[in-house]
Amino acid sequence: MLLIKIGGGKNIDWDNIAKDIADVTKKEKIILVHGASAIRDEIAKKLSSPTKIITSPSGITSVYTDQKALDVFLMVYAGLVNKKIVANLHKHGVNAVGLSGIDGKLWQAKWKKETYSQVNGKTKLISDNLTGRVEKVNTELIDLLLKNNYLPVICPPAISFENQIVNTDNDWAISIMASALKIEKIIVLFEAPGLLKNIHDQTSVIKKIRKEDLDDFMKFAQGRMKKKILGAKKAFELGLREMYWGDARIKQPITRVLEGNGTIIS
């Protein structure tokens, strides 16, 4: 069983991905998780509530999620993007079902009511942030769909233990999900050919990382890549065997990354 996570970048080619998934899923069950950040930012701007990014004291960026931001999140992730991916998969003969982390409490998260943010060198306490970390996965629902030949297409938000809808980090969520479902391989595709030594040089892909050395590679990670490293660390801590990072903009992106085009962590 493969867990595939596709980022939410602007140049991700969903038609190629759907085509490749149709091929790969003939041999192996797939669970798909996706982002939608580029379109989210676009719609948020149009609705006059642009996405606000906050930076934690340890330098990790995340989205500040008040009720307005959460509404945009629901619209774009669980509505617009999730359903278009599902329809695209159907076009390629894949019987997809789209779910958010809220449905059947698929992703239960611990609501992190208080977050610290660095603003102009000062640490500020944010107490109305609707975010959380996934801690529990409804594996029965996923198994039920897989057993009946549906391909689950999953996106945030999650639902908290108090039944509050909360934004959540996808890279963390897939680690928890892989562990809960005893999945040994995760594929993560985004708008780069892998982890780059030099962000300005697309040929500087780091081909292999030993899981024990993940911390040493934090220095190469920019922006969202930092969260991918943190997510990967968590996944290996919980028993993952292999993680593949590759390019979501090319043809046969899943087949290609499994062939070694990208960064392999093991």
- Which one of the spans 70-78, 115-123, 184-192, 196-204 is the region binding a second copy (CB under 8 A)? 70-78
End-to-end Cα, the chain, rounded Å: 17
Write the CB contacts of 246 (distance below 8 Å, at least 6 apart in sequence).
Answer: 187, 188, 189, 193, 194, 253, 256, 257, 261, 262, 263
Closest to a second copy by CB, 2 or 102:
102
Closest approach of a second copy to the CB of residue 250, in Å:
24
C-alpha to C-alpha distance for 157 and 155, rounded to whole angstroms? 7
- Which one of the spans 103-111, 127-135, 195-203, 220-228 is the region binding a second copy (CB under 8 A)? 103-111
C-alpha to C-alpha distance for 23 and 94, rounded to whole angstroms? 9
Contact status: 1 vs a second copy (CB under 8 A): no
- Could you please report the per-residue DSSP string of 6-32? E---TT--HHHHHHHHHHHTTTS-EEE
Q: Site mask, a second copy, residues 165-184, x = CB under 8 A?
A: x-------------------
Residue 72 contacts residue 43 (beta carbons within 8 Å)? yes
1, 38, 80, 250: residue in contact with a second copy (rule CB under 8 A): 80
Interface residues with a second copy (CB under 8 A)? 43, 46-48, 71, 74-80, 82-84, 86-87, 90-91, 95-100, 102-105, 140-141, 144, 148, 150, 157, 159, 163-165
